[in-house]
Structure 1
Protein backbone atom coordinates (compact mmCIF):
# COMPACT_ATOMS: atom_id res chain seq x y z
CA UNK A 1 0.00 0.00 0.00
CA UNK A 2 1.42 3.38 -0.96
CA UNK A 3 1.48 6.21 1.47
CA UNK A 4 -0.61 9.28 0.75
CA UNK A 5 1.20 12.23 -0.85
CA UNK A 6 2.39 15.02 1.40
CA UNK A 7 0.54 17.51 -0.76
CA UNK A 8 -2.76 16.39 -2.26
CA UNK A 9 -3.41 16.88 -5.97
CA UNK A 10 -6.30 19.19 -5.06
CA UNK A 11 -3.68 21.63 -3.75
CA UNK A 12 -1.89 21.52 -7.10
CA UNK A 13 -5.14 22.37 -8.85
CA UNK A 14 -5.85 25.16 -6.36
CA UNK A 15 -2.41 26.71 -6.97
CA UNK A 16 -2.81 26.30 -10.74
CA UNK A 17 -6.13 28.14 -10.65
CA UNK A 18 -5.32 30.90 -8.15
CA UNK A 19 -1.57 31.67 -8.22
CA UNK A 20 -1.12 35.25 -9.41
CA UNK A 21 2.58 34.68 -10.05
CA UNK A 22 1.88 31.71 -12.30
CA UNK A 23 -0.81 33.59 -14.25
CA UNK A 24 1.37 36.70 -14.69
CA UNK A 25 4.32 34.55 -15.82
CA UNK A 26 2.17 32.68 -18.34
CA UNK A 27 0.69 35.92 -19.67
CA UNK A 28 4.14 37.52 -19.84
CA UNK A 29 5.50 34.61 -21.86
CA UNK A 30 2.50 34.73 -24.22
CA UNK A 31 2.90 38.48 -24.73
CA UNK A 32 6.66 38.12 -25.18
CA UNK A 33 6.14 35.50 -27.90
CA UNK A 34 3.67 37.76 -29.68
CA UNK A 35 6.00 40.78 -29.65
CA UNK A 36 9.05 38.62 -30.48
CA UNK A 37 7.25 37.31 -33.54
CA UNK A 38 6.21 40.82 -34.62
CA UNK A 39 9.75 42.18 -34.20
CA UNK A 40 11.47 39.18 -35.80
CA UNK A 41 11.86 40.91 -39.22
CA UNK A 42 14.09 43.47 -37.48
CA UNK A 43 16.08 40.72 -35.75
CA UNK A 44 15.32 41.98 -32.24
CA UNK A 45 13.33 40.57 -29.36
CA UNK A 46 10.76 42.40 -27.26
CA UNK A 47 13.35 42.60 -24.48
CA UNK A 48 15.85 44.21 -26.83
CA UNK A 49 13.16 46.62 -28.02
CA UNK A 50 12.48 47.64 -24.41
CA UNK A 51 16.18 48.06 -23.73
CA UNK A 52 16.72 50.19 -26.83
CA UNK A 53 13.61 52.24 -26.04
CA UNK A 54 14.92 52.85 -22.52
CA UNK A 55 17.90 54.64 -24.11
CA UNK A 56 15.72 56.98 -26.15
CA UNK A 57 16.15 59.95 -23.82
CA UNK A 58 17.41 63.52 -24.11
CA UNK A 59 20.51 62.62 -22.04
CA UNK A 60 22.33 59.29 -22.04
CA UNK A 61 21.25 57.34 -18.94
CA UNK A 62 23.56 55.56 -16.55
CA UNK A 63 23.65 51.79 -16.46
CA UNK A 64 22.01 51.93 -13.02
CA UNK A 65 19.11 54.03 -14.31
CA UNK A 66 18.45 51.61 -17.17
CA UNK A 67 18.77 48.57 -14.90
CA UNK A 68 16.28 50.12 -12.49
CA UNK A 69 13.77 51.00 -15.23
CA UNK A 70 13.91 47.47 -16.67
CA UNK A 71 13.93 45.81 -13.22
CA UNK A 72 17.22 44.06 -14.04
CA UNK A 73 20.38 43.65 -12.06
CA UNK A 74 23.47 45.21 -13.61
CA UNK A 75 25.01 41.84 -14.52
CA UNK A 76 21.91 40.84 -16.50
CA UNK A 77 21.81 44.27 -18.16
CA UNK A 78 25.48 44.00 -19.14
CA UNK A 79 24.84 40.63 -20.76
CA UNK A 80 21.79 42.01 -22.60
CA UNK A 81 23.76 44.98 -23.90
CA UNK A 82 26.58 42.98 -25.50
CA UNK A 83 24.78 41.69 -28.62
CA UNK A 84 23.21 45.10 -29.24
CA UNK A 85 26.57 46.80 -28.86
CA UNK A 86 28.18 44.27 -31.24
CA UNK A 87 25.47 45.12 -33.80
CA UNK A 88 26.34 48.80 -33.45
CA UNK A 89 22.93 49.73 -32.04
CA UNK A 90 24.21 51.31 -28.84
CA UNK A 91 27.41 52.34 -27.18
CA UNK A 92 28.62 52.58 -23.64
CA UNK A 93 30.96 55.29 -22.48
CA UNK A 94 32.46 56.68 -19.31
CA UNK A 95 30.72 59.70 -17.79
CA UNK A 96 32.80 62.87 -18.24
CA UNK A 97 32.08 64.16 -14.69
CA UNK A 98 32.24 60.86 -12.81
CA UNK A 99 34.62 58.33 -14.32
CA UNK A 100 33.05 55.56 -12.22
CA UNK A 101 29.74 55.86 -14.11
CA UNK A 102 29.08 54.21 -17.42
CA UNK A 103 26.45 55.74 -19.64
CA UNK A 104 24.55 54.32 -22.60
CA UNK A 105 23.34 55.86 -25.82
CA UNK A 106 21.75 54.76 -29.04
CA UNK A 107 23.87 55.01 -32.15
CA UNK A 108 22.38 56.37 -35.39
CA UNK A 109 21.90 52.75 -36.49
CA UNK A 110 20.12 52.02 -33.20
CA UNK A 111 17.87 55.06 -33.61
CA UNK A 112 16.94 54.00 -37.16
CA UNK A 113 16.15 50.44 -36.02
CA UNK A 114 14.06 51.74 -33.14
CA UNK A 115 12.20 54.04 -35.55
CA UNK A 116 11.35 50.96 -37.66
CA UNK A 117 10.33 48.98 -34.58
CA UNK A 118 7.93 51.53 -33.06
CA UNK A 119 5.19 51.14 -35.72
CA UNK A 120 5.41 47.35 -35.34
CA UNK A 121 5.14 47.70 -31.56
CA UNK A 122 2.15 50.07 -31.93
CA UNK A 123 0.37 47.72 -34.33
CA UNK A 124 0.96 44.72 -32.07
CA UNK A 125 -0.20 46.68 -29.03
CA UNK A 126 -3.33 47.84 -30.87
CA UNK A 127 -4.20 44.23 -31.71
CA UNK A 128 -3.80 43.24 -28.06
CA UNK A 129 -5.88 46.22 -26.90
CA UNK A 130 -8.58 45.28 -29.42
CA UNK A 131 -8.56 41.70 -28.12
CA UNK A 132 -8.75 42.72 -24.44
CA UNK A 133 -10.61 45.97 -24.87
CA UNK A 134 -8.77 49.22 -24.24
CA UNK A 135 -10.35 49.73 -20.80
CA UNK A 136 -9.21 46.26 -19.78
CA UNK A 137 -5.68 46.99 -21.01
CA UNK A 138 -5.58 50.25 -19.05
CA UNK A 139 -6.90 48.51 -15.94
CA UNK A 140 -4.41 45.66 -16.29
CA UNK A 141 -1.50 48.12 -16.66
CA UNK A 142 -2.63 50.01 -13.56
CA UNK A 143 -3.00 46.82 -11.54
CA UNK A 144 0.41 45.53 -12.61
CA UNK A 145 2.03 48.88 -11.75
CA UNK A 146 0.44 48.66 -8.30
CA UNK A 147 2.43 45.46 -7.71
CA UNK A 148 5.79 47.08 -8.44
Structure 2
Protein backbone atom coordinates (compact mmCIF):
# COMPACT_ATOMS: atom_id res chain seq x y z
CA UNK A 1 0.00 0.00 0.00
CA UNK A 2 1.42 3.37 -1.02
CA UNK A 3 1.57 6.37 1.26
CA UNK A 4 -0.38 9.30 -0.18
CA UNK A 5 0.19 12.38 1.93
CA UNK A 6 -3.02 14.09 0.83
CA UNK A 7 -4.92 11.03 2.10
CA UNK A 8 -3.00 10.79 5.39
CA UNK A 9 -4.89 11.99 8.46
CA UNK A 10 -1.61 12.55 10.32
CA UNK A 11 -0.07 14.58 7.51
CA UNK A 12 -3.21 16.68 7.08
CA UNK A 13 -3.62 17.22 10.85
CA UNK A 14 -0.01 18.38 11.08
CA UNK A 15 -0.53 20.76 8.15
CA UNK A 16 -3.70 22.19 9.68
CA UNK A 17 -1.92 22.61 13.03
CA UNK A 18 0.91 24.56 11.38
CA UNK A 19 -1.57 26.80 9.54
CA UNK A 20 -3.56 27.45 12.72
CA UNK A 21 -0.35 28.17 14.65
CA UNK A 22 0.88 30.60 12.00
CA UNK A 23 -2.43 32.46 11.96
CA UNK A 24 -2.70 32.59 15.74
CA UNK A 25 0.93 33.70 16.07
CA UNK A 26 0.25 36.73 13.87
CA UNK A 27 -2.80 37.65 15.94
CA UNK A 28 -1.21 37.30 19.40
CA UNK A 29 2.22 38.71 18.60
CA UNK A 30 1.01 42.30 19.22
CA UNK A 31 -0.01 41.13 22.71
CA UNK A 32 3.53 39.91 23.38
CA UNK A 33 2.42 36.27 23.35
CA UNK A 34 3.60 33.25 21.39
CA UNK A 35 1.94 30.04 20.32
CA UNK A 36 4.40 28.19 22.57
CA UNK A 37 3.02 29.79 25.72
CA UNK A 38 -0.62 29.98 24.63
CA UNK A 39 -1.67 26.43 25.64
CA UNK A 40 -0.24 26.88 29.16
CA UNK A 41 -2.01 30.22 29.46
CA UNK A 42 -5.30 28.60 28.44
CA UNK A 43 -4.90 26.03 31.22
CA UNK A 44 -3.95 28.66 33.81
CA UNK A 45 -6.79 30.97 32.79
CA UNK A 46 -9.09 28.02 33.41
CA UNK A 47 -7.44 27.08 36.73
CA UNK A 48 -4.72 29.26 38.17
CA UNK A 49 -2.20 27.78 40.61
CA UNK A 50 -1.51 24.49 38.85
CA UNK A 51 1.78 22.69 39.33
CA UNK A 52 4.22 22.04 36.50
CA UNK A 53 3.24 18.36 36.71
CA UNK A 54 -0.44 19.32 36.33
CA UNK A 55 0.37 21.35 33.21
CA UNK A 56 2.43 18.52 31.70
CA UNK A 57 -0.50 16.13 32.15
CA UNK A 58 -3.14 18.57 30.87
CA UNK A 59 -1.14 19.56 27.80
CA UNK A 60 0.30 16.11 27.10
CA UNK A 61 3.84 17.44 26.59
CA UNK A 62 7.27 16.52 27.90
CA UNK A 63 8.45 17.73 31.30
CA UNK A 64 11.51 19.45 29.77
CA UNK A 65 9.36 21.31 27.23
CA UNK A 66 7.07 22.53 30.01
CA UNK A 67 10.03 23.63 32.13
CA UNK A 68 11.39 25.71 29.24
CA UNK A 69 7.96 27.16 28.49
CA UNK A 70 7.45 28.19 32.12
CA UNK A 71 10.92 29.74 32.25
CA UNK A 72 10.04 31.89 29.21
CA UNK A 73 6.67 32.80 30.71
CA UNK A 74 8.35 33.83 33.96
CA UNK A 75 10.96 35.87 32.06
CA UNK A 76 8.15 37.58 30.11
CA UNK A 77 6.24 38.49 33.27
CA UNK A 78 3.30 36.15 32.62
CA UNK A 79 3.67 33.86 35.65
CA UNK A 80 5.24 33.61 39.07
CA UNK A 81 6.13 30.34 40.79
CA UNK A 82 5.56 29.91 44.51
CA UNK A 83 5.99 27.00 46.90
CA UNK A 84 2.80 25.14 47.70
CA UNK A 85 1.47 26.15 51.13
CA UNK A 86 0.80 22.56 52.22
CA UNK A 87 3.71 20.82 50.46
CA UNK A 88 6.91 22.84 50.18
CA UNK A 89 8.35 20.39 47.64
CA UNK A 90 5.79 21.52 45.06
CA UNK A 91 5.75 24.81 43.22
CA UNK A 92 2.52 26.29 41.98
CA UNK A 93 2.32 28.43 38.86
CA UNK A 94 0.32 31.64 39.21
CA UNK A 95 -0.66 34.14 36.55
CA UNK A 96 0.50 37.72 36.90
CA UNK A 97 -1.83 40.68 36.50
CA UNK A 98 -0.32 41.17 33.05
CA UNK A 99 -1.30 37.64 31.98
CA UNK A 100 -4.79 37.99 33.45
CA UNK A 101 -5.22 41.23 31.51
CA UNK A 102 -4.30 39.50 28.24
CA UNK A 103 -6.95 36.79 28.56
CA UNK A 104 -9.75 38.67 26.79
CA UNK A 105 -7.73 39.86 23.78
CA UNK A 106 -5.92 36.51 23.43
CA UNK A 107 -9.15 34.51 23.51
CA UNK A 108 -10.69 36.90 20.97
CA UNK A 109 -7.66 36.32 18.72
CA UNK A 110 -8.07 32.53 18.98
CA UNK A 111 -11.80 32.74 18.25
CA UNK A 112 -11.12 34.93 15.21
CA UNK A 113 -8.44 32.54 13.92
CA UNK A 114 -10.76 29.56 14.33
CA UNK A 115 -13.58 31.41 12.56
CA UNK A 116 -11.33 32.40 9.64
CA UNK A 117 -9.78 28.94 9.30
CA UNK A 118 -13.15 27.20 9.34
CA UNK A 119 -14.98 29.80 7.23
CA UNK A 120 -15.23 27.38 4.29
CA UNK A 121 -17.34 24.97 6.36
CA UNK A 122 -21.01 25.14 7.25
CA UNK A 123 -21.94 25.30 10.93
CA UNK A 124 -22.85 21.59 10.86
CA UNK A 125 -19.55 20.70 9.15
CA UNK A 126 -17.68 22.68 11.83
CA UNK A 127 -19.43 20.75 14.60
CA UNK A 128 -18.69 17.43 12.87
CA UNK A 129 -15.06 18.39 12.23
CA UNK A 130 -14.44 19.32 15.86
CA UNK A 131 -16.31 16.24 17.08
CA UNK A 132 -14.23 13.97 14.85
CA UNK A 133 -10.99 15.63 15.98
CA UNK A 134 -11.96 15.02 19.63
CA UNK A 135 -12.69 11.38 18.83
CA UNK A 136 -9.30 10.91 17.14
CA UNK A 137 -7.55 12.58 20.09
CA UNK A 138 -9.26 10.25 22.55
CA UNK A 139 -8.42 7.12 20.57
CA UNK A 140 -4.83 8.31 20.01
CA UNK A 141 -4.01 8.97 23.66
CA UNK A 142 -1.75 6.31 25.11
CA UNK A 143 -3.22 4.28 27.93
CA UNK A 144 -1.47 4.28 31.29
CA UNK A 145 0.19 0.95 32.03
CA UNK A 146 1.90 -0.21 35.23
CA UNK A 147 5.17 -0.76 33.35
CA UNK A 148 5.17 2.36 31.25
CA UNK A 149 3.83 5.53 32.91
CA UNK A 150 2.47 7.95 30.37
CA UNK A 151 1.83 5.46 27.64
CA UNK A 152 1.20 1.99 26.38
CA UNK A 153 3.56 -0.06 24.30
CA UNK A 154 2.97 0.62 20.63
CA UNK A 155 3.24 -2.42 18.41
CA UNK A 156 3.43 -2.37 14.83
Class of the TM-score when normalised by the shorter of the 2 chains:
0.7 to 0.9
Aligned twin of 2:73: 84
Whether the 8 Å CA contact 2:44–2:50 is kept in 1: the answer is: yes
Q: Unmatched 5+ residue regions in structure 1?
A: 1-9
- Is 1:32 the counterpart of 2:47? The answer is no
Distance, in Å, in 1 between the alignment partners of 2:116 and 2:7 is: 27
Displacement of 1:58 in angstroms is 4.8
Distance in 2 (alpha carbons) for counterparts of 1:113 and 1:59: 14
How far off is 1:131 after superposition? 2.9
Q: Give the superposition deviation at 1:104.
A: 0.9
CA shift in 2, pair 1:95/1:111, >3 Å? same
- Aligned equivalent of 1:21, options 10, 31, 37: 10
Query: How many residues are treated as equivalent by the alignment?
Result: 137
Counterpart of 2:153 in structure 1 is: none
Task: Give the number of the structure whose residues are more often helix, by fraction.
Answer: 1
Give the superposed CA RMSD: 1.9
Aligned equivalent of 1:118: 107
Structure 1 length-normalised TM = 0.81
If the length of structure 2 is used for normalisation, what is the TM-score? 0.77
Q: Is the counterpart of residue 72 in structure 1 residue 29 in structure 2? A: no
Give 1:42's aligned residue: 31
Residue 34 of structure 1: how far off its partner (Å): 0.9
Contact 2:49 2:92 in 1 (8 A): yes
Matched with 1:145 is 134
Deviation, 1:43, is 2.3
CA contact (8 A) 1:39 1:117 kept: yes
Choose between structure 1 and 2 for higher RCO, CA contacts under 8 A separated by at least 6 residues.
1
Separation of aligned partners in 2, 1:79 and 1:57 = 21
Q: Work out the CA distance in 2 between the residues paired with 1:129 and 1:15.
A: 24
Pairwise CA distance, 1:18? 2.3
Q: 1:111 to 1:59 in 2, by over 3 A?
A: closer
